Amino acid sequence: MTRQLFPALVLWIVLTIVGEILAAQANFYPTVMSDKGADIATAFRILMYVAVPVFTMVIAVLVSSTLLNSSMSFPEEDGPPQMGRGAVPLVWVGVTSCLAVAVMIYPGLIELPKVFKKADKPDVRVHVEGIQWTWLVSYPDAKVDNAREVVLPVDRTVRFDITSRDVLHSFWIPAFLLKIDAVPGLTTTISLKPTKTGTYQADPLLRLQCSQLCGLSHSRMRLPVRVVTQAEYDAWVQSQSGGAAGGPTPTGPSAAITITAKNITFDQSTLTVAAGSAVQLTLDNQDSGIPHNWSLYKSKDAAAGGDSPLAGTKIEAGPVKQTTTFAAPATGTYYFRCDVHPTTMTGTFVVQ
């Protein structure tokens, strides 16, 4: 028995040392940009340190047993029985039991309650509603509705109140290392403090992504996230007060356009206006109970990349008519879509 255990013990010690070194040097996560994310990353690394000796013990026993007891011939009789008695099994059960209890205490009972603790008096409160296939974002305290990006001040406590209008979605911002389900009829909550400034354009992990398969356009169900200074956040809130994109009302020659949304399609795929005109666009949403909007982007790539729309309407459920007025951009070909249905409701906006 000792002859069989000694090689496994030596191999286990060697593999454990190598494994712990690799675990200490490995960088599993990108730059973590939230306080709760940092707690999660620390807990995960500690779990890795605990898991390495258990994993290497299994590998050491398998390898040593295979090498020491391998044979090219079929055995004529069964090997001697292993009763599992003595000091070695008792020590192994004792050590692994202690590890299991330690993991239950930390991070189980110590860190997890801190991660999921709800901030009762956050600096910023964000209401997020999942819908096939976009996110409806509002800031109740700042009176901001229908935001097409998530903007957060750095080093401030933020509370997300999350729900779903239709099916099960999942709220996930990869750079924050936090994820929670968006459940119809139920409000779930995540509180955190962003610790670094950044943008989706510079770091694609700064995005609000659905991580629960929810239908045809699940992979497109994302919004850009920006973490900015307090002054930049205050300026953004001020710019959002007043509604949809489009800026001040233009005063040039007018061009009136009506586009109808019905059966989750637009009735027109190409809209044409004259350069320099003041465009008055009316979205006639005839889909009862289904939310639509109309958003104009520089290009399809700009829309997919999280750029803010050049103009647009709010996301509202039909039947409803919405009108927005904006100055036609420079001569060229642009892209429009419904942000809720970015695969079936798209078109080209031509300025000539």
Same domain, 129 and 110: no
Whether the Cβ atoms of residue 171 and residue 187 lie closer than 8 Å to each other: no
Distance CA 170, CA 163 (A): 9
Distance CA 350, CA 254 (A): 16
DSSP annotation of 73 reads S
Give pLDDT, residue 93: 86
Find the domain containing 46 and state its range: 2-68+86-115
Same domain, 141 and 109: no
Same domain, 39 and 97: yes
Distance CA 329, CA 231 (A): 29
Residue 36 in any domain: the answer is yes
Specify the CATH number for the domain of residue 314. 2.60.40.420
Residue 76 in any domain: the answer is no
Same domain, 141 and 94: no
Same domain, 284 and 182: no
Whether the Cβ atoms of residue 173 and residue 193 lie closer than 8 Å to each other: no
Give pLDDT, residue 314: 87
Angle at 290 between CA 224 and CA 261, to 5 degrees: 90
Distance CA 266, CA 281 (A): 13
Distance CA 175, CA 179 (A): 11
What amino acid is encoded at 274 in this protein?
A
Same domain, 28 and 109: yes
Give pLDDT, residue 70: 66
Please give the model's pTM, rounded to 2 decimal places. 0.75
Whether the Cβ atoms of residue 324 and residue 247 lie closer than 8 Å to each other: no
Give pLDDT, residue 68: 76
Same domain, 214 and 276: no
Same domain, 227 and 170: yes
Same domain, 98 and 128: no
Residues in the chain: 352
Same domain, 171 and 101: no
SS3 content of the chain, % helix, strand, coil (to 5): 30, 30, 35
Q: Which helix (H) or strand (E) holds 65?
A: helix 35-69
Q: Which letter, b or e, does each residue of 182-211 get, where b requires 16 or more Cβ atoms within 10 Å of its Cβ?
A: bbeeeebebbbbbbebbbbeebbbbbbbbe
Distance CA 108, CA 345 (A): 46
Distance CA 45, CA 28 (A): 9
**19 Cβ neighbours under 8 A, 6+ residues apart:** 52, 53, 55, 56
Residue 343 in any domain: the answer is yes
Give pLDDT, residue 2: 59
Mean pLDDT per 10-residue interval, the chain, length 352 residues? 74 93 84 91 88 91 81 74 75 86 87 85 95 91 88 96 94 94 95 95 93 88 94 91 51 85 95 92 94 94 82 91 92 94 92 92
Same domain, 97 and 147: no
